Amino acid sequence: MKQVDDLSSGLPPQVEYAHLNAKQKEIYNFQKVAALLADHGFNCIKLADDWQGADFLAYHFDGDTTLKVQLKGRANIDKKYLERGLHMAFPAAGDWYVIEHDALVELCREHTNWLNTGSWTERGGYSVASPSAALLTALAPFRLGPA
């Protein structure tokens, strides 16, 4: 990666997400979600490894609320995350969402056919980049803000 030594003319141009590698995309996404969670009183700490399935922890200023968050690049449910108290953070339709995984599974049960697919029943997971309008409407209370 090119190092910027002279910022006398301003900041370097904004990065194009598509040009980032997988690790850079994860870091970029974490920073975006952490900024949005800060608006809700959270301080986010990126974890070096998936601790109890979480990519990062979000501590609320109330001192009582801590979210274990799994960061995804798209809406995602997985049987390995069931009953673990994990929250899923993902972009969809230009916004970021954070929702407890098992609550997301229930919304998927009510508003999609995801739980009836071979992907879920045989392989234990399902993900989409563009959730249905019905699911997006159900996710509205969990919308953080623009991606």
**85 is in which domain, residue-wise?**
19-146
In this structure, what token pair is assigned to residue 56? 């990062």
Output the pTM of the full model. Answer: 0.89
Task: Supply the pLDDT for residue 10.
Answer: 85
Whether 44 is covered by a domain: the verdict is yes
Quickly state the pLDDT bin for 7 (edges 50, 70, 90).
Answer: low
In this structure, what token pair is assigned to residue 12? 């370097």
Q: CA 79 → CA 56, 61, 114, 115, 120, distances in Å?
A: 20, 31, 12, 10, 8
Whether 117 is covered by a domain: the verdict is yes
Whether 10 is covered by a domain: the verdict is no
Q: Looking at residue 68, which CATH number applies to its domain?
A: 3.40.1350
Domains held by the chain: number? 1
Whether 8 is covered by a domain: the verdict is no
Question: Distance between CA atoms of 71 and 118, rounded to whole angstroms?
Answer: 24
Whether 142 is covered by a domain: the verdict is yes
**pLDDT (average), residues 53-59:** 95
- Residue-wise pLDDT for 68-124, tens only, equals 999 999 999 999 999 999 999 999 999 999 999 999 999 999 999 999 999 999 999
Whether 1 is covered by a domain: the verdict is no
Question: Distance between CA atoms of 81 and 120, rounded to whole angstroms?
Answer: 13
